[in-house]
Structure 1
Amino acid sequence: MRKVIIIRFRGGLGNQIFQYALYKQLSCSGKEVKADLTFYVNNVDMNRCFQLPNMGLKVKTANIKEIEKFYGAESGYMNIILRKIGLKRHYLREKPYKIVRDIFKYDNIYLDGYWQSEYYFQNIKKKLFEEINWNIKSRRVMYYVNLIKNSISVSIHIRRGDYLNNSIYNNICTVDYYKNAIQYMKKVVEGITFYIFSDDIEWTKKTFCGIEYVFIEGSDNNNCFEDLYLMSLCQYNIIANSSFSWWAAYLNININKIVIAPDKWVNIRNIEGLWCEDWIRLKG
């Protein structure tokens, strides 16, 4: 039986890039890897669409028959039966925020997770950066590109929306977190302009006042890759507890960049491998 690794893609753009990074790492090791995109085909979450092609990132898509071969493999009982008839298959569901350190030993497995750590792609970081080719055509974006490139720029990502009523994310990226991060940046960098990205721009306009703030408007779920691109162009980054702004900071190629992140990501303990070593972590 032909061996193949299938990675389930799900979630928003930030999660998709993490999943792609693992996909790329496994592919570069000589294994056959395919993507399960049924999350988007079946419209599991109407607010999410598959956006990697807008970054020039391509995957081989698994067909239904290939995916169905792993049905039942998640069950320990079914796995015993499959092994007895010579059909050894694995199904690995990631435990939240725990690194799976033996993930690279498999060559016939279905991988279901977010894989939010540089651990999963640290060996192909350069290749990943080289592959990205932004499909940017919008006049809106080019207007902001010009502003960012002609200023000392700091991106601020503020995620509200679905985070407001979810206790796992509450009281982490508070107003105090952002104000402390802003004050930190002002102390170490002079003459900066803050570019605010948010799913609730009207709220941010009421909360952050001053000529040093520029509010990025006109984005939605279908063109969020444009905001990721703009954030990555900023010289410095203040991120939310979001994989979206995680990648904006990570893709920032400024060698002198400063990245400020919340010291908590979610309201659970023992998170492994999520923050980069040189990022500054502040309390909310």
Structure 2
Amino acid sequence: MVASLFGGLGNQMFQYAAGRSLAVRTGARLILDATGFTLPQTRRAYALEGYALAAEIRFDGYRHPPRLSAVQFPAPRWPGWIDRAARLLRARNIPIGRATGENALAVFNERSFDFDARFSHCGPQTYLVGYWQSERYFAEIADLVRQELTYQRAPDAANAQWLARIRAANAVCVHVRRGDYLLPAHFRHHGLCSADYYHRALRLVRERVTDPRFFVFSDDWAWCREHLADHDTVIVDANKPDAGQDELRLMAACRHHVIANSSMSWWGAWLAASEDQTVVAPTPWFTQRSETPDLLPARWVTMPRE
């Protein structure tokens, strides 16, 4: 079982969780293919160091090894009745591919951000390629995923102080993602959550949560100081942008969450799950797609982001 890794910390967590779930279900050994991070044109880096992963990490070309023989779904045509049977199975959303060789894998590509029911039909010799941004892919092992995606490295002095402050309060994580989302290409795809979204979300949290204390995490502190000061917020300034693991640990230590349309934001809330948790999430998640029904857990409160 191989899961391809790409993107930032949040995306890599989704890819690990999906691969881990499938490996547990099929009894397979999980390999995380991090080869893409070694390519010169790649801006991202492998981000899962410091987590208790039950997987082998490969940087040495597993993505395209000479001995790998695999096909993508839908598979190429076979002759005669075999091809007709294969097309019938694919029409019923049962993935089928043709792979040969001792170490052959069938490549399973994610089709969209909706949960893909074909995932449950994947066997142990599968190469996963996708974002897998839904807890439905790993809900059966949710406790295991939370355990393995808890950051293991000891915090430095600044992070330890913030952890103590957060744990001593009825802490609400308020995540504001701007930074790269302001770039034209990212803005067209992701868009931004407005100041009004945060005002409405924080008011809702005050209605539901006793004595909330708002801890703001962001890559744009100046914007937060300008737009969120009226809510008695505290800006968490412990980490630089490249310290995502430490930042996420602080976010997950909060009891309640107001999230941005960001995979890291999603994980901060999901890892912190508790019975009385309140999570407010923005919709739509993507600018060019109005509905992503499987991305946000049904127990979370959604609110227009404009």
TM-score, normalised with respect to structure 2: 0.81
Residue matched to 2:6: 10
State whether structure 2 residue 50 is matched by structure 1 residue 51.
Answer: no
Counterpart among 238, 245, 255 of residue 235 in structure 1: 255
- SS of residue in 2 equivalent to 1:183: helix
Q: CA deviation at 1:74?
A: 3.6
Alpha-carbon contact 1:159-1:200 (below 8 Å) kept: yes
Counterpart among 3, 28, 39 of residue 31 in structure 1: 28
State whether structure 2 residue 94 is matched by structure 1 residue 98.
Answer: no
Report the Cα distance in structure 2 between the residues aligned to 1:265 and 1:122, rounded to whole angstroms: 21
Match for 2:190: what amino acid? Y
Residue matched to 1:249: 269
Within 5 Å, which residues of 2 pair with 1:1-284?
Answer: 5-29=1-25, 30-42=27-39, 44-46=41-43, 48-62=44-58, 63-64=60-61, 67-68=64-65, 69-70=67-68, 73-74=71-72, 83=98, 89-107=105-123, 108-134=125-151, 135-164=153-182, 165=184, 166-171=187-192, 173-210=193-230, 212-267=232-287, 268-284=289-305
Q: Percent identity?
A: 27
Q: CA deviation at 1:263?
A: 2.5
Structure 2 segments unaligned to the other structure (5+ residues): 80-96
Structure 1 segments unaligned to the other structure (5+ residues): none
Alpha-carbon contact 1:55-1:225 (below 8 Å) kept: no
Alpha-carbon contact 1:192-1:212 (below 8 Å) kept: no
Of structures 1 and 2, the one scoring higher in RCO (CA 8 A, sep 6+) is 1
Alpha-carbon contact 1:249-1:259 (below 8 Å) kept: yes
Q: Deviations over 1:225-270 (max 9, x none)?
A: 1111111111210001111011111111432110000121112144
Distance 1:258 1:84, change over 3 A: closer
Report the Cα distance in structure 1 between the residues aligned to 2:105 and 2:164, rounded to whole angstroms: 51
Distance 1:27 1:90, change over 3 A: closer
Alpha-carbon contact 1:72-1:78 (below 8 Å) kept: no
TM-score, normalised with respect to structure 1: 0.87
Alpha-carbon contact 1:155-1:237 (below 8 Å) kept: yes
